[in-house]
Amino acid sequence: MGEHFETRCIHGSGEHSFEEQTHAVSFPLYQTATFGHLGLGRSSGFDYTREKNPTRQRLEEIMTELEHGVDTVAFASGMAAVSACFELFSPGDHIICAEDLYGGTNRLLHTISMKNGLQVDFVDTTSLEQIRERLTPATRAIYIETPSNPMMRVTDLRGCAAIAKEHGLLLIADNTFLSPYFQNPIALGADIVIHSGSKFISGHNDTIAGFLTSARQDLADRIRLIAKTTGGMLAPFDCWLAMRGLKTLPIRVERQQQNAREVARWLGAQPGIEQVFYTGLADHPGYALNLSQARGCGSMLSFRTDTVQTAHRILNGVRLITFAESLGGTESLITYPLTQTHPDVPEQMRLRLGITDRLLRLSVGLEHVDDIIADLGQALEG
């Protein structure tokens, strides 16, 4: 058991560190804050849910297998995971970050991490040369998203890993947009992989979660200590929801990708749509690179309209697609990065990246593709 990805999403490897005695087909929800001791100095292996819980442990083991790591820690949100990741560093440490990042990560770096003494340089990580130019004796890590949010830039994972290894740095990769089904950064040299588990992992827009998967045991041990100490762990019920979502991850993301390809092609042919950013289009500058390091292009795309009025008309006119933040769920969601996900990104950086009042981001869901396209069409027409 466990040779194929689809099987591991449902069963893991079949070998787990905690054997549930009832053999329930749906792994039980251990909704408890604490666990009784068997006697003085005798523990069942579970003492307090902040530290360890059977439901969370099973989820973490499955995620570790899917991302080819040595350990995974499940957090209460994607941002809790990112925050814990940056706790690995000390005041004065220098981090090279992709400039095109989820707005919450950018906000964390500007308002918390820099305040706490981290030095951060934001660069176009699609250029390995720009990364090399920003290296200093204090550099400790390279932090990337690929594809990036929201401009869908593709960063060379192998190239970044080579730079990191040469200079003794950590390579941290946010893999939220592609999920472990389409991309495995650790297999390409990353040290830590981040997921907002609220997105494709859980897949139903019904829970908030985050994950850090480590490639090395020393990193895993440090992250577990940080999680235990700061307490941002994923609650048992949310772990159960995420496990339930994982069981259908492969079939969901395959269909979403199929839908996204058709939607992207359709958008590119419409009056009023100036440019489509989707790594599955052959004219995307990162198309070939993405094919070389990922098994698919996913279902996230962004597009620029001809005018702000067109953008607003689409946002106000969609009926089937929901105008909302988030992504990766069964429902199609359309987002206005300027005001929803990236308002705290410094204006100069936003404009340089192209995050303007004409940019929309679309998470393509599982509705019939003809219905998604028809909804966009009627919204465009007004």
User: What are the angstrom distances between the C-alpha of 122 and each of 85, 126, 140, 232?
Assistant: 17, 12, 14, 27
Q: Is 48 part of the annotated catalytic residue set?
A: no
CA distance 138 to 169: 10
Q: Does the N-terminal peptide bond of residue 147 adopt cis geometry, omega within 30 degrees of 0? A: yes
Q: Which of 50, 52, 107, 222 is catalytic?
A: 50
Q: Which of 30, 56, 100, 102 is catalytic?
A: 102
In whole angstroms, give the CA distance from residue 134 to residue 95.
9
Distance, CA of 140 to CA of 162 (rounded, Å):
14
Which SS3 state, helix, strand or coil, does residue 213 take?
strand
Within 269-368, residue ranges assigned H as helices are 287-293, 308-317, 347-353
Catalytic residue among 174, 191, 238, 375: 174
* 238 noted as active-site residue: no
Query: Phi/psi at 291 (nearest 5 deg)?
Result: -60, -30
- Tokens 């042919």: give the residue: 269
CA geometry: angle 163, 78, 260, nearest 5 deg: 85
User: Burial level of 215, CB count in 10 A (0-12/13-18/19+)?
Assistant: buried
Structure tokens at 368: 């019939």
Choose, from 140, 199, 224, 361, the residue flagged as catalytic.
199
Residue 102 annotated in active site: yes
Q: Are 358 and 274 in contact (CB under 8 A)?
A: yes
- Tell me the H-state helices in the chain: 5-11, 54-66, 78-86, 103-108, 128-133, 157-167, 179-182, 217-230, 236-246, 249-268, 287-293, 308-317, 347-353, 369-381
Are 317 and 379 in contact by the 8 Å Cβ rule? The answer is yes
150 preceded by a cis bond (ω within 30 of 0): yes
Confirm whether 52 is a catalytic residue.
no
How many Cα atoms occupy the beta-carbon half-sphere of 287 within 13 Å?
10
Q: Which residue, chain included where needed, has tokens 């690929």? A: 146
- Please name the residues in contact with 338: beta carbons below 8 A apart, sequence gap of 6 or more: 350, 355, 356, 357, 359
Report, as residue numbers or ranges, the catalytic residues: 50, 102, 174, 199
